Amino acid sequence: MAEEFALQLEGVSKSFGGLQALAGVTLAVRPGERRALIGPNGAGKTTLFNLISGSLPVTAGAITLFGRDVTDAPAHIRAAEGLARTFQITNLFPDLTVMDNCLLAVQALTPTRFAMLRPVGAYAGLHASARATLDSVGLEGAGDAVVKNLSHGEQRQLEIALALAGRPRVLLLDEPTAGLSPAESRLMAGLLARLDPAMTVLMIEHDMDIALELSPHVTVLHYGRVIADGPRAEVRRDPQVREIYLGA
């Protein structure tokens, strides 16, 4: 049976000591939906991603993934349920090659990750899958390069590759174009537009053009609360949103 929602948040709150970063966020994302999560700096967008992915525990509320309550599940269990994420601040394995980075992502959800008595090179299936993932993000032929020697743009592409390698059902993209030049941003937008339509994508993006172009549905976060949620045209007209973004 297909679940009605891929991802559901019910009154999710997060406090860091006296600071309330998120106050009762409720949202529901349908399977296959493209959703942009926007809001000014400090609105709590990345914190929300950290709660959804399990990097941080919630203070209150519930998180459901395809009908399964994962509120207390550790990050790796959520990943096994089909949740993948990228990081705003590039989070790769800098001392390893591009191929090894991708192999780590490909083998993560297979029993092979505990295999000890054969070299990684002996697993042709893993390599083929990793190579296909690298090709899909435009990193073909870069497999032997050490990640710390890549350009920032290539590292952002690899961020996406690592998230896609496990064939996730829900993908959280935390500012995929962070630090990219306008030209690189266009390439990234093209890459994101080609993602599997069956995949649910929740995206934080500061580049409003790209955010709205890729996502028909927009949620606006401000000081830890959802202040607007709906189709992009509607949100664009919302007076509160206009005030926050344009100060008018």
Partner 1 sequence: MIRRRAVFAALVVGALAALGPVMPAYPLTLITQALIFGILAMSLDMLLGYTGLPSLGQAAYFGVAAYAVALLATERQVGLLGCAAAGIALAAVTAAVFGVIAIRARGTYFLMITLALGMVVWGLAFRWVSLTKGDNGVSGVPRPDLGGLSLSAPLPFFYFTLLVAAAAWALLGLLVVSPFGLGLKGIRGSESRMEALGYNVWLHKYVAFVLAGTFAGAAGVLWAYYNGFVGPTDVQLVTSVEALLMTALGGPGTLVGPAIGAGIIVFLKNFVSVYTKRWLLILGAVYIGVILFAPHGVVGALRGRRRLGAGRVPGG
Q: Which residues contact 33 (CB under 8 A, 6 or more apart)?
A: 6, 200, 201, 217
Tokens of 82: 């089909």
Q: CA 122 to CA 239: how far, in whole Å? A: 59
Q: CA 78 to CA 169: how far, in whole Å? A: 11
In whole angstroms, the minimum distance from the beta carbon of 166 to partner 1 comes to: 6
Q: CA 170 to CA 65: how far, in whole Å? A: 9
Q: Determine if 79 is a binding residue for partner 1 (CB under 8 A).
A: yes
Q: Determine if 73 is a binding residue for partner 1 (CB under 8 A).
A: no
Tokens of 64: 């459901």
Site for partner 1 in 115-134 (CB under 8 A): 115-121, 123, 126
User: Which residue number, 23 or 142, has a Cβ lying nearer to partner 1?
Assistant: 142
In whole angstroms, the minimum distance from the beta carbon of 192 to partner 1 comes to: 18
Q: Determine if 62 is a binding residue for partner 1 (CB under 8 A).
A: no
Indicate which single residue of 15, 20, 26, 55 sits in contact with partner 1 (rule: CB under 8 A).
55
**Contact region for partner 1 (CB under 8 A) — 95-103, 132-140, 220-228, 230-238?**
95-103
Q: Which residues contact 121 (CB under 8 A, 6 or more apart)?
A: 127
Tokens of 147: 């990640």
Where along the sequence are the contacts to partner 1 (CB under 8 A)?
53-55, 74-76, 79-80, 84-85, 87, 91-97, 100, 103-105, 107-109, 112-121, 123, 126, 146, 149, 162, 166
